[in-house]
Structures are given as C-alpha cells and as structure tokens.
Structure 1
C-alpha cells in the first residue's frame, strides 16, 4: 500500500479525481449545495484518517497542485484586462467597496474576538483570514501570530465564501456584476473567485482585482495598527 500512496501520482489523482467526480455529480443532479472544493477537502481528510495514510505521502502530490496556485492567480489578470474599460468607469466604487470590505473583515475579527474573550494570539492569527494565502502568511508573521491558524482560517473563509456567496447575493438583491465580483474577491480571495468565474467574466475580473488590492490594503492596515501600538 505504501508503494502506492508514497508517490506524487497518488496525491494528484486523489485530489483531481475527487474534484472532477463531485463536479460531475453536481452538474448532473443540479444541486448547488454540492461544493466540489469543500466536499473534496472533507473526503480527502476522511480517507487519510480512516486508512491511516501519512499526510506527508499525500502532500507529495498535493504540493505539485499547490505549486500551480501562483500561476493560476496570475491568469486571473486576463479577464481583468478584458474588462479594463469597466474598471475605469467604476473606479471610485471599486476602491470604496474594497476598502469597506477590508475594514469590515479586520474590525469584525478584532471586535468579536474581544467580545468573546479570545486570547490575543488567536485574534492576531485570524486578522488576515480574508486575504490570499501567501499574503496572509506574511501578515501573520508581521503580527507574530500562529501561521497554522491563519492558514486554516483563510481556507475556511474561502470555502465558505464561495459556497454561500450566491445565496447571500440573491437574498440581498445584489445584481450588478461589479458589486458581485468585488464582494466575493474581497471577502474570500482566490477560493471564492472560483465561484465568481462561474458567474461571468465581469465578476471574475472584479474578484481577481479585489484579491490583490484587498491584500495590499490589509497589509497597510496592519502596519498602521502596529504603528499606533495596538499590536
């Protein structure tokens, strides 16, 4: 068994195969609650635990998939370039929306953490939960937080954002594609952007823009907070 699991091919086939299978089931059943990303993560964890396969074995192939995160993020610039006229037309709304999203993400963590009596380390670790993983890790290190907790919070935020975004947008009657894309990208970074891509090219462009701007803004907010002696 170890000869099979302790290879790069095992992690790649398990991840891609599960994602493709769940996606296929979702399209055929037309059940929107079947989130391929969320269910793939849960099933892979269950498989590794139940079969006692070492995580290191899985990550030999998982690390290969993870290596594509950077190039895939760069590819998101393509729909943004195609929608550049829309970007100029709504520049003030876009900047205002992203700033509001970053402010609510940071302040909600600080406010709820202190309201619920969470310790300061956990509070610092959760602050970068809405930015993309590489930047989130850097922010976590700036705050001398727990990098592991930060990564988990980023993953959970992205998965939940991509899962519930369509429902929330419908309930709040948000129909403009720019507003949809910005809200998803600002709150749930690259993982949420996969859902924006499904919605349309404008949503994908605005969401990919929000990933970068929100991450940069979060870094600046943390610098200001440290300058003021809050952390």
Structure 2
C-alpha cells in the first residue's frame, strides 16, 4: 500500500479534501461547535494513516500542494475588511488598542508558561507565534530557531480551539459588541477564528480579518523582543 500510494501525488490531496468534506457534512448535520471540520479532518487523516500503516511523508507528498493556497486564502480576508472600512476610520484607537493588547497577552502568556514548565529557548520561540496565521508563523519560527513543524501544530490547535470556543467565551464574558468580538477572536485564533467570526456577522468577520494582518506585523516585532527573555 505504501509503495503504491507513494507513487501518486493525488493521495494526499484526495484524502485531505474527502475528510474535510466529511467534516463539513458532520458540522452541518450536528450544528455543534465541537464538530469543527478541520478537527474532524485531522482525526480522520491520522486514523487512515495509522490503519493502513502509511508514512506521513507519503501523505505529505501530495498534501503539500494544498498549502500553496494558504497565502492567497489569507490575503482574501481583506475583502470583508474593505467593506467595513468606515468602522476602522471611526474607531481607530479602540481597534488598534485591542489588537495590541491581544498580541501582548499572547506573548506574555507564552513567556509565563515557558518559565512555569521550564522550556528551553528553542521550545519557547517555537510557541511564540501561536496566535498568528500559519503563513507568517512558520517564517517567524524558522527565523528565531524554533521547531517549525511544532509551530504549525500549535497554530492549528490554537485556531481550532478558538473556532470552537469563541462564541461561548464571548457569551461568558458578556462581550456583545460585534467589533469587540471580531478583534478578540482574530487576535487569539487567526484565520480559523476568523471563519467563526464570519459566521457571527460581517462586522465580526471584518474586524477579525484586520486583526490577522495587524497581529502578524506586531508579532514579528514582538517576537524579536520577547525571544531574548529566555
């Protein structure tokens, strides 16, 4: 099986698309936040690889081509932001203040937890880009000497958790303003969180999209500073 599949680049692409479609179907049928399509897809892919004893490299040979669309997909998030550009002009201090607070919270939390669990420098810088989109986080981790593959996993887990818990946390914290919701979700859960924000409303989606861009820029600057702390 391994030998047959390793000769085809379509295996990784096919299994990724099929499992994600299954995840979407389950999400539509259940309507539950925990039924996140990406989470379901990851679980199914891991199950298939283990069941048929397929190496990850065999799967990655094809799946890597899907990642080509990651950057343009992130850039396309600027569309809802453009539609809500007047909000940015009306509340610039509140919006950028919220994003800066979110970035600093992410940096300080990683720093505190790294001290608590005794992580070394490599492990520490690996986790610092956890709250930004994968396209930017991978480059930061590599530049800082982190473990890029783990950075990707941490970013994805952060996004999935944000997608699942965002609405519940906003409700518990009594965050009702759509601008505040979008900023909170975007600064903490990047693109996957933005997908959830778009479900909540166009304003939430626009603010979350803005957060991804600004967070990416501010995180690049912040990581270069915080990386020296451990």
Mark yes or no: TM-score above 0.5: yes
Larger mean CA deviation between 155-164 and 137-146 belongs to 137-146
Report what 1:27 is aligned to. 28
Within 5 Å, give how 1:55-74 maps onto structure 2.
55-74=56-75
**Aligned match of 1:93:** 94
Cα pair distance change 1:120/1:21, threshold 3 Å: same
Which residue matches 2:43?
Answer: 42
1:5–1:53 Cα contact (<8 Å) kept: no
Other-structure match for 2:149: 148
**Alignment map for 1:137-176 (pairs within 5 Å):** 137-176=138-177
Kept in 1: contact 2:186–2:208 (CA 8 A): yes
Please state whether the residue corresponding to 1:67 is helix, strand or coil: helix
Query: Partner residue of 2:225?
Result: 224
Q: In 1, are the aligned partners of 2:158 and 2:189 still within 8 Å (CA)?
A: yes
Root-mean-square deviation over aligned CA pairs:
1.8
Q: How big is each residue's C-alpha offset from its partner over 1:103-157, in whole Å with a ceiling of 9 and x where there is no partner?
A: 0000011112112222232112111111112321222233222222222211211
- Confirm or deny that 1:82 pairs with 2:83: yes
Q: CA offsets per residue over residues 75-117 of structure 1, 9 Å max, x none?
A: 1111111010111112111100000000000001111211222
CA distance in 2 between counterparts of 1:97 and 1:83 reads 17
How big is each residue's C-alpha offset from its partner over 1:4-42, in whole Å with a ceiling of 9 and x where there is no partner?
A: 564233222222222222222222233332111111111
1:102 touches 1:214 (CA, 8 Å); kept in 2?
Answer: yes
SS for the counterpart of 2:64 is helix
1:153 and 1:65 map into 2 onto residues whose CA distance is: 19
1:17 to 1:95, Cα distance in 2 relative to 1, 3 A: same
- Determine the C-alpha separation between the residues in 1 that align with 2:86 and 2:229: 40
Note if 1:105 corresponds to 2:106.
yes
- Checking the alignment, whether the CA contact within 8 Å between 1:5 and 1:11 is kept in structure 2 is no
The alignment partner of 2:32 has SS state of coil
Q: Which runs of 5+ in 2 are unaligned?
A: none
Give the TM-score normalised by structure 2. 0.91
Any conservation in 2 of the 1:105–1:130 contact (CA below 8 Å)?
A: yes
* 2:192 matched residue in structure 1: 191
* Deviation by residue 1:40-90 (Cα, 9 ceiling, x = unmatched): 111101211221122233223312221111111111111111010111112
Residue of structure 1 equivalent to 2:119:
118
Q: TM-score when scaled to structure 1? A: 0.91
CA pair 9-85 structure 1, distance change in 2 beyond 3 A: same
Runs of 4+ in 1 over 6 A off after TM superposition: none
| Stretch of structure 1 that moved more, 177-186 or 49-58 | 49-58
Equivalent residue pairs, number: 229
